[in-house]
Amino acid sequence: MNFLQHDVPLSWYLLLSAILFSLGVVGFLIKRNLITVFMSIELMLNAVNLSFVTFAYQWHEVRGQIFVFFVMMVAAAEAAVGLAIIIAVFRARSTLAVDRIDLMKL
Amino acid sequence: MHLILFFLFAGFCLAGAINLLLQTHPINSALSLIVVMTSLAVLYLLLGAEFLAIAQIIVYSGAVMVLFTFVVMLLNAGREERTLGSRAASRVGFPAVVVLFAVLATIVLHVQGLGAAHLGEGLSNAPGQSNLVLLSQVLFHELLLPFEVTSILILIAILGAVALAHVEGSKMGRSERTAEK
């Protein structure tokens, strides 16, 4: 079985990462729910992490993986603060639709 | 084997991401995001990043997504309204996304010297050395200060989350509170 021994070109991983990132941007633009918009941001972060891991593999550089580790840390902090902001916005406006949240004052 | 695993989990990834866009209910989007993140963990494993694969599952598909589903349920987020969105999003946004993807794909396909991924190969050149050893050597020697600063960041994030989501004087209504000021 020659098929089983095939290696995957690293550019495919990078291409997958580019596709995921673009899908995240599309989600950011078309979704009308605050939480789903936030999920699209997480999707973009994950796509960038994949390309970091790919480059770390290519150049045998462990700092690429450490960068992903730090991105995960910051993303976890960002998710906690972002969701708290969403709860505060919901409490003030009683809606999650981004079209309705268009004034800075209460 | 590698090719099959790559196609399987890249397919899961793309299907999850597209499903995230198509679903109108936030809880379905959250569940498809979990699929995306877990399949990304398998792809990390294929690229020899065992520690990151486990961290991805624990931190992202575990902690972060539990937080997301918790907020979706707490706020009782229903089906989203299908508005057409702003005109800027459709007229400028989508062509811009297409251009962005084209640029990214061209750059990616023109990166020089990219090899292929072999299954079971890590970062280390020495055989038998786990890349967890390499990673912790660099992380806890050279990058100790950024690592500790990250813990302070997490602490501040916790405090910020509590301060933002906390209701002061829950007995009073909003109008009374503003009247007092």
Is B114 within 8 Å of A11 when comparing Cβ atoms? yes
**pLDDT grade for B181, boundaries at 50, 70 and 90:** very low
Which is higher by pLDDT, B118 or A62? A62
Q: In angstroms, what CA-CA distances link A60 with A50, A82, B50?
A: 15, 35, 14
**pLDDT grade for A4, boundaries at 50, 70 and 90:** low
pLDDT over 90, % of chain B: 39
Q: Which one of 3.30.470.20, 1.20.120.1200, 1.20.1290.10, 3.40.50.2300 gives the CATH number of domain B1-80?
A: 1.20.120.1200
Task: Give yes or no for residue B177 having a pLDDT over 60.
Answer: no
**pTM of structure:** 0.87
Is A60 within 8 Å of B49 when comparing Cβ atoms? no
Size of interface A-B (CB pairs under 8 A): 246
Nearest CA in chain B to A56: B123
User: What CATH number is given to the structural domain containing A21?
Assistant: 1.10.287.3510
Is A75 within 8 Å of B93 when comparing Cβ atoms? no
Distance from CA of B132 to the nearest CA of A (A): 9
Q: Quick check: A78 and A11 in contact, CB under 8 A?
A: no
Q: A98 in a domain, yes or no? A: no
Q: Which residues of A touch B21 (CB under 8 A)?
A: 23, 26-27, 30-31
Q: In angstroms, what CA-CA distances link B72 with A28, A78, A91, B19, B110?
A: 17, 17, 14, 17, 42
Asked if the interface predicted TM-score (ipTM) of this complex is over 0.95, the answer is no
End-to-end CA distance of chain B: 67
Q: A3 in a domain, yes or no? A: no
Spatial separation of the C-alpha atoms in residues B114 and B73, rounded to whole Å: 44
Residue of B28, B54, B160 lying closest to A85 (CA atoms): B160
Is A70 within 8 Å of B17 when comparing Cβ atoms? no
Which is higher by pLDDT, B167 or B61? B61
What's the number of domains chain A is made of?
A: 1
Q: What is the mean pLDDT of residues A79-89?
A: 91
Task: Give yes or no for residue A105 having a pLDDT over 80.
Answer: no
Spatial separation of the C-alpha atoms in residues B15 and B34, rounded to whole Å: 12
What domain range is A63 assigned to? 10-93
Q: Which residues of A touch B116 (CB under 8 A)?
A: 7-10
Q: What are phi and psi of B141, to 5 degrees?
A: -105, -60
Residue of A75, A58, A27 lying closest to B56 (CA atoms): A75
**pLDDT grade for B94, boundaries at 50, 70 and 90:** confident
